[in-house]
Amino acid sequence: MNGRPRSTSMFRLLASLALALLTTACALPNQDSNAETEAALRQPAVPLPENWLTSARLTFERLVEETLPGDSISFLDEAALATLADALREPDTRMRASIWLGRSRDPLAAELLMARLEERELGEDRGADAPDVVSAAGLAEFKASAERAARLSALATGETAHPDLEVRVECARAALRYGDDSSIPFLLSVLLIGTHQGRESGEFWPAPLRSAWARERAAEILAWRAGLENRYSADASIGDREREVARLALQLPTREE
């Protein structure tokens, strides 16, 4: 089943395999395969501070800002990737691991975050999805990748979508930022949750108990894609919400190609 835990070594293995692939790429014909070139490929490599997990919240936030600039790629060293991969498997450490990996913009970090999301795990508590929401939101800031966009779209829509609404919306947002418009109909349907049109469509009906945050996030990215001011409010009347969805839809490519 989607929620069944996998081996705790899976993410460590992914990190090792990805590093091996990068090293192998340096040895392909017509490329400089000397040791210096291989070592420089992921340099400077950033280690994980010893207190990344034990520090107070504000201290951790400063560590993130000071260690990982956020506006450029910070390649993580192999030990950091392995540690963070294992941390993604544990509920108590998952949030900090998600933040660190997402902030790094390291392509290998993106693969670890994607693998975690593709577990499609539905937490028992309301806030259990927070680390996965952070993971998906962080992926939106990585360099665009058509392959990753397709995987994110698969997490947002269709029969194999992630079971958590907030995570689905964040995956759709990331895919849209990558230039993949296939999740637009899904995001529009999220905006119609709790409306007459939403009920008529049959999607998201009965309406989920809590959806305001997901609807606000969907509206924000759709307005960005449409090049319009975001006028949607989750607290607006049903009529106002339906009219705003119609306004956005007119400026969006909503037909599947």
Place 207 in a pLDDT band, splitting at 50, 70 and 90. Answer: confident
Angle in degrees, 0-180, between the axes of helices 212-226 and 165-177, rounded to the nearest 10: 10
Q: How far from 6 is each of 92, 113, 163, CA to CA, in Å?
A: 17, 15, 17
Q: Is the pLDDT of residue 11 over 70?
A: no
Smallest CA-to-CA distance from 117 within 132, 130, 97, 129 is with: 132
Tell me the mean pLDDT in the region 226-242: 97
Q: Is the pLDDT of residue 108 over 80?
A: yes
Q: What is the pLDDT of residue 40?
A: 63
Task: Supply 257's token pair.
Answer: 């190609």
Q: Is the pLDDT of residue 186 over 50?
A: yes
According to DSSP, residue 198 is labeled H
pTM over 0.85: no
Q: Is the pLDDT of residue 85 over 70?
A: yes
Q: What is the pLDDT of residue 127?
A: 87
Q: Is the pLDDT of residue 257 over 60?
A: no
